[in-house]
A and B are shown apart, each in its own frame.
Chain A
Amino acid sequence: MKVLLVEDNEMNRDMLSRRLARNGYEVVMAVDGQQAVTMAASENPDIILMDMSLPVIDGWEATRRVKADPATQKIPVIALTAHAMAEDESKARNAGCDDFDTKPVDIQRLIGKMKALLDGAP
């Protein structure tokens, strides 16, 4: 199972990738929104975990582009945002995100959400 983790903060990226790897996921990483769009197409991940406040293009725009491209639109996207961005849940869903979770990540909860989305996939 391949996860594309999009996160600009190095520590968050390191932590989450290690914890996902420990739980048996193959993790590829992007550090900005542009790279996320490119890698969604080139890496063909099963699921994308997307931070929303990203450099170059932000997470909302990156999600819109992923969802606009027929080649990548079927990949589920889970938005990850900090609590401060309380209004972001709606914003994220409007951008096309399939689910939403807040940081700091509760790994079991996140994996639960990932599984729910992946079970529904063909």
Chain B
Amino acid sequence: MKRTLSPEEEHAFLRATLDYMQHGVAMYDADHKLVTWNERFVDYLQMPEEFLGTDRTFSDYIRYLGARGEFGEDADIEKELEKRLKVLATSHSFERVRPDGMVMEVRRDPVPGGGFIAIYTDITERKKQELALRKAMEDAESANKVKSSFLANMSHELRTPLNAIIGYSELLAEDAQDRGDKAALGDLEKISAAGKHLLGLINEILDLSKIEAGKMEIYLERVDLQKAIADVKTIVDPMIAKNGNRLVIECPADIGSVRTDITKIKQCLINLLSNAAKFTKQGTILLRLSRDKDDHGVDRVRFDVGDSGIGMTPEQLGRLFQAFTQADSSTTRNFGGTGLGLTITRHFVTMLGGTIDVVSEPGKGTTFSIVLPDREGGEAAPTVADDLGLAPEGVASAITVLIVDDDPAVHDVLSATLGREGYVLLHARDGAEALAIMRKTPPDIVTLDVQMPKVDGWSVLGIMKSEPALENIPVIMLTIVDDRNLGFSLGASEFMTKPIDRNRLTALLRKLAPAKADAVILIVDDDPDVREVVAATVKAAGLTPAQAANGREALGWLASNKAPALILLDLMMPEVDGFEFLEKAREIESLNEVPIVVLTAKDLTETERSILAERTLLVLSKSGQPIGTLGTALSALARRHHDAAHRHDGK
């Protein structure tokens, strides 16, 4: 049975709860007068006893903190107070750092019937752990970078002595042959063969690390297939002969040429053929070239490499393209190799916009098929406009936006917003399709999702930047950056990921903000550490930082200050978050010319990503901010859109 508490008991219960809880608590009435508080409040806020009393108001408290210098030396205390009074009617929270380094989370919630309650939580430990975690992540990232550049530098150092070993052993072998010294000849040939094998392994490991570091470059050109195949044959002939195999090449005389990277496709074919030679004895290895068209009518070139070797089980096929994995661990013992060849081949084929498939049966043999699209960069295809069902004059004036995303919801959202504004939209569900469309009908602008199956956004961006016909098409990355280094090296600058890369930020500031000391950069982030780092960087760039702990503070700051030169915006913040801020900022006219750079955390949800995609794009497209190529493109886009709208009005 539950008994009703007497008012005294009720009071004692509440008092005890307040006094024993792990938070500092203070309660204010409807007139903002201090009603009650607990010991931890006194302790956390380091309040002298004489200050505390029920005649004190919230304003007294803030003025007291201000006088103590908590808002900075030159802070306008009345302004600080006004800012805080403004938000008291709604629940809000922020972080405060005490001069001794203790970090507190301050939460204020309105109480029914008037007044509000302030709760202070010591989050110093949590912050420390977050910081340690972030540092560990940064260390890991930089260690990975160091590893990649070490490997790249080592490549030359490793190769030079190996070249000498191979070269001199061959020289001696030739001498031995001239002398008829068969014993020495056999040994010397073994040295040179082992050296070549080692060199091959080193090359594969370096290729893979280059691919993983995003440093592998693609160089597209018209490649004469007959000639490329002849080159490949010269290289693989000795490997084929080794196991008593025969190479059959079926290459139509009119196979022609394909626009691709000659070195990469040659390496892919050499990898497949040397694998086939390795796993086949006294058999036939077939290299067949053919042409066909895909579902969209795009020309394709197909390379089949078949063997009559040992074949693979479905289970072995499943692991085939994984790095450092061969079909069977005993394979390495019997046949050698790093197991990297196929992984590298698959990466190369993907980078070239193609696909690789395999069919195999144990005991019967294996056939690998590479299919490469054959397109001419920059070639316009007038039929696409017809496909879209557009009137010709609409096509002439409209701006074409290619939306690349595997998530249909994003297509829907963007279609709804952009389609209404008169843009012509092209849709691609994956990277390969995107590249196919781009090469046929170069769009004015591309929105690109990062995480997609098969060819991801960075690969698409990388390929675009390597093709003259595509490299100048502005790209909006519509999602969260997985690998900021890769992202930045590929030229995406409109998002920055946290932890903040200071050099990058400085470069961004130089690009976006005028080099005047009175240019103010508004930093909106709830994390005081991030604000501090960013503010220091801004100062070092000769600019003036202003800070806001959330969207509401930022809006408050904007209401009472001149428009800043640039806004750096976090997304996940208490009270008014970055999304809401973007929404509200659109309505402020003085902000139309102010670039907003979004600082993103890494773990956004799917929904948040699409919201971000939609809103950032809209904010940017409506105000035409000069953020790199994006800004240029968007202001051009806005201008053209404006002209187009006027033409329509004139009709």
Determine whether the beta carbon of A15 is less than 8 Å from that of B174. no
Determine whether the beta carbon of B170 is less than 8 Å from that of A107. yes
A82 at the interface (CB under 8 A from B): yes
A11 at the interface (CB under 8 A from B): yes
Determine whether the beta carbon of A87 is less than 8 Å from that of B171. no
Determine whether the beta carbon of A104 is less than 8 Å from that of B196. yes
B45 at the interface (CB under 8 A from A): no
Interface string of B141-179 (1 = CB under 8 A from A): 000000000001001100110111011101100100000
**How many B residues have CB within 8 A of the partner chain?**
29
Interface string of A95-111 (1 = CB under 8 A from B): 00000000111010100
A1 at the interface (CB under 8 A from B): no
Given contacts A15-B168, A19-B170, contact A87 B219 (CB under 8 A): yes
Q: Which A residue's beta carbon lies closest to that of B155?
A: A84
Q: Which residues in B have their C-beta under 8 angstroms from that of A90?
A: 219, 221, 261-263
Q: Complex: how many Å from CA A84 to CA B174?
A: 28
Q: Which residues in B have their C-beta under 8 angstroms from that of A87?
A: 217, 219, 261, 263
**How many A residues have CB within 8 A of the partner chain?**
23
Q: Complex: how many Å from CA A15 to CA B156?
A: 18
Q: Complex: how many Å from CA A11 to CA B164?
A: 6
Q: Which residues in A have their C-beta under 8 angstroms from that of B207?
A: 86
B508 at the interface (CB under 8 A from A): no
Determine whether the beta carbon of B234 is less than 8 Å from that of A82. no
Residues of B178-220 at the interface with A, using a CB-CB cut-off of 8 Å, are 196, 199, 203, 206-207, 217, 219
B33 at the interface (CB under 8 A from A): no
Determine whether the beta carbon of B219 is less than 8 Å from that of A19. no
Determine whether the beta carbon of B167 is less than 8 Å from that of A82. no
Q: Which A residue's beta carbon lies closest to that of B207?
A: A86
Q: Which residues in A have their C-beta under 8 angstroms from that of B162?
A: 104
A38 at the interface (CB under 8 A from B): no
B264 at the interface (CB under 8 A from A): yes
B417 at the interface (CB under 8 A from A): no
A35 at the interface (CB under 8 A from B): no
- Shortest Cβ gap from A2 to chain B (Å): 21
Q: Complex: how many Å from CA A16 to CA B168?
A: 9
Q: Complex: how many Å from CA A22 to CA B170?
A: 12
- Interface SS majority for chain B: helix
Determine whether the beta carbon of B171 is less than 8 Å from that of A86. no
Determine whether the beta carbon of A84 is less than 8 Å from that of B159. yes
Determine whether the beta carbon of A86 is less than 8 Å from that of B263. yes
Determine whether the beta carbon of A22 is less than 8 Å from that of B267. no
Determine whether the beta carbon of A86 is less than 8 Å from that of B264. yes
Which of A12, A18, A22, A84 has the most B CB atoms < 10 Å from its CB? A84
Q: Which A residue's beta carbon lies closest to that of B263?
A: A86
Q: Complex: how many Å from CA A89 to CA B164?
A: 23
Q: Which B residue's beta carbon lies closest to that of A105?
A: B167
Interface string of B221-239 (1 = CB under 8 A from A): 1000000000000110000
Determine whether the beta carbon of A12 is less than 8 Å from that of B262. no
Determine whether the beta carbon of B264 is less than 8 Å from that of A16. no
Which of B164, B167, B168, B203 has the most A CB atoms < 10 Å from its CB? B167
Q: Which residues in A have their C-beta under 8 angstroms from that of B155?
A: 82, 84
Determine whether the beta carbon of B203 is less than 8 Å from that of A83. yes
Q: Which A residue's beta carbon lies closest to that of B220?
A: A90
Determine whether the beta carbon of A11 is less than 8 Å from that of B167. yes
Determine whether the beta carbon of B163 is less than 8 Å from that of A19. no
- Shortest Cβ gap from A111 to chain B (Å): 12
Q: Complex: how many Å from CA A82 to CA B199?
A: 11
- Shortest Cβ gap from A119 to chain B (Å): 16
Determine whether the beta carbon of A82 is less than 8 Å from that of B156. yes
- Shortest Cβ gap from A54 to chain B (Å): 14
The answer, among B152, B171, B217, B263, for a CB contact under 8 Å with A89, is: B263
Q: Complex: how many Å from CA A86 to CA B156?
A: 13
Q: Which residues in B have their C-beta under 8 angstroms from that of A105?
A: 167
Q: Which B residue's beta carbon lies closest to that of A90?
A: B219
Determine whether the beta carbon of B159 is less than 8 Å from that of A82. yes
Interface string of A53-86 (1 = CB under 8 A from B): 0000000000000000000000000000011101
Q: Which residues in B have their C-beta under 8 angstroms from that of A9?
A: 160, 163
Q: Complex: how many Å from CA A83 to CA B200?
A: 10
- Shortest Cβ gap from B468 to chain A (Å): 13
Q: Complex: how many Å from CA A105 to CA B207?
A: 20
Given contacts A15-B171, A82-B159, contact A104 B166 (CB under 8 A): yes
Which residues of B come within 8 Å of A, CB atoms? 152, 155-156, 159-160, 162-164, 166-168, 170-171, 174, 196, 199, 203, 206-207, 217, 219, 221, 234-235, 261-264, 267
Known: A9-B160, A11-B160. 6 other contacts (CB 8 A): A12-B163, A12-B164, A19-B174, A84-B159, A87-B261, A90-B219
Could you list some 26 contacts between A and B, CB below 8 A?
A: A9-B160, A9-B163, A11-B168, A15-B167, A15-B171, A19-B170, A22-B174, A82-B155, A82-B159, A83-B199, A84-B155, A84-B156, A84-B203, A86-B264, A86-B267, A87-B261, A89-B262, A90-B219, A90-B262, A90-B263, A103-B159, A104-B162, A104-B163, A104-B196, A104-B199, A109-B234
